[in-house]
């Protein structure tokens, strides 16, 4: 159980035969499969056949499935901050843009949101991201701890929002139903709630709420901007 740190192990040691595969290939395959079929389609056997290796060979590159997940997250999180991104110096604009790219990345890789939300061990691209985020809010008169609190708050919102945004799609994938069947299943229950009369506000929502209530984009922006506004209002004056 004495697992070594994934990011410390050199890709290529000295003595033995040269490897046929690579972490990069493994990561690429994992991301591809998860994108197409969801995170639960990822298995060591599946990944092995995907790259043409024997199952147990993967363990030469990675100390277990958890490392594969770690590699996937680190690989994809890089997209939050494309190479060559320059900072405008306007912290709200910079952090907002980062948040929006984070969201779009998670929408492209729907398996990412829950993982990103609940893992925060150090990894190359996560550290790159942290470095850039800290630079965005540097010079506002905040201490390092306060900067971390600020950034943490924004990412908390983004992660939480995207997860709930993806919740319905997730439910469809989990159950294997399509949207029509799904709503057909939920409707009678909601109807019974309405009929009971115990939930007037929910009833109002179900009857007069706009279909797919407002643009999702718009809702994301609303929360993000309110949060940034609220932060700005309490920044130390300079």
Partner DNA sequence: CATAATTGAGTACGCTGTACCCGGTTTCGT
Partner DNA sequence: ACGAAACCGGGTACAGCGTACTCAATTATG
Binding-residue pattern over the window 215 to 234 for a copy of itself, x denoting contact by CB under 8 A:
---xx--xx-xxxxxxx-xx
Q: How many residues bind a copy of itself (CB under 8 A)?
A: 79
In the set 2, 8, 18, 118, which binds DNA (CB under 7 A)? 18
Q: How far is the CB of 98 from a copy of itself (least distance, A)?
A: 14
Q: Does the footprint of DNA cover residue 17 (CB under 7 A)?
A: yes
CB 23 within 8 A of CB 62: yes
Contacts of 165 (CB under 8 A, 6+ apart): 107, 216, 220
Which phi and psi angles does 152 have, rounded to 5°? -60, -40
Angle between helix 91-108 and helix 216-233 axes, rounded to 10 deg? 150
The residue (of 48 and 224) whose beta carbon lies closer to DNA is 48
In the set 32, 59, 217, 232, which binds DNA (CB under 7 A)? 59
d(CA 144, CA 52): 47
Q: How far is the CB of 103 from a copy of itself (least distance, A)?
A: 11
Q: Map the footprint of a copy of itself across residues 24-83, applying CB under 8 A.
A: 66
d(CA 181, CA 198): 26
Q: Does the footprint of DNA cover residue 187 (CB under 7 A)?
A: no
């Amino acid at each position: 159980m004495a697992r070594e740190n994934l990011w410390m192990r050199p890709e290529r040691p000295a003595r033995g035969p040269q490897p046929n595969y690579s972490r990069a290939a493994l990561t690429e395959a994992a991301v591809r499969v998860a994108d197409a079929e969801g995170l639960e389609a990822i298995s060591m056997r599946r990944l092995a056949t995907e790259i043409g290796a024997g199952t147990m060979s993967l363990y030469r590159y990675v100390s277990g499935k958890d490392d594969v997940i770690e590699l996937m997250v680190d690989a994809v999180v890089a997209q939050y901050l494309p190479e060559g991104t320059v900072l405008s110096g306007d912290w709200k604009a910079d952090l907002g843009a980062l948040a929006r790219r984070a969201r779009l990345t998670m929408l492209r890789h729907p398996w990412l949101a829950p993982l990103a939300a609940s893992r925060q061990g150090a990894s190359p691209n996560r550290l790159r991201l942290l470095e850039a985020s800290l630079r965005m809010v540097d010079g506002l008169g905040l201490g390092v701890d306060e900067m971390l609190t600020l950034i943490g708050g924004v990412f908390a919102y983004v992660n939480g929002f995207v997860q709930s945004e993806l919740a319905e799609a997730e439910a469809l994938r989990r159950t294997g139903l399509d949207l029509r069947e799904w709503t057909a299943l939920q409707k009678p229950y909601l109807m019974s709630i309405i009929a009971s009369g115990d939930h007037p506000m929910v009833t109002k929502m179900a009857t007069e709420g706009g279909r797919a209530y407002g643009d999702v984009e718009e809702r994301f922006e609303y929360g993000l901007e309110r949060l940034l506004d609220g932060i700005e209002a309490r920044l130390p004056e300079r």
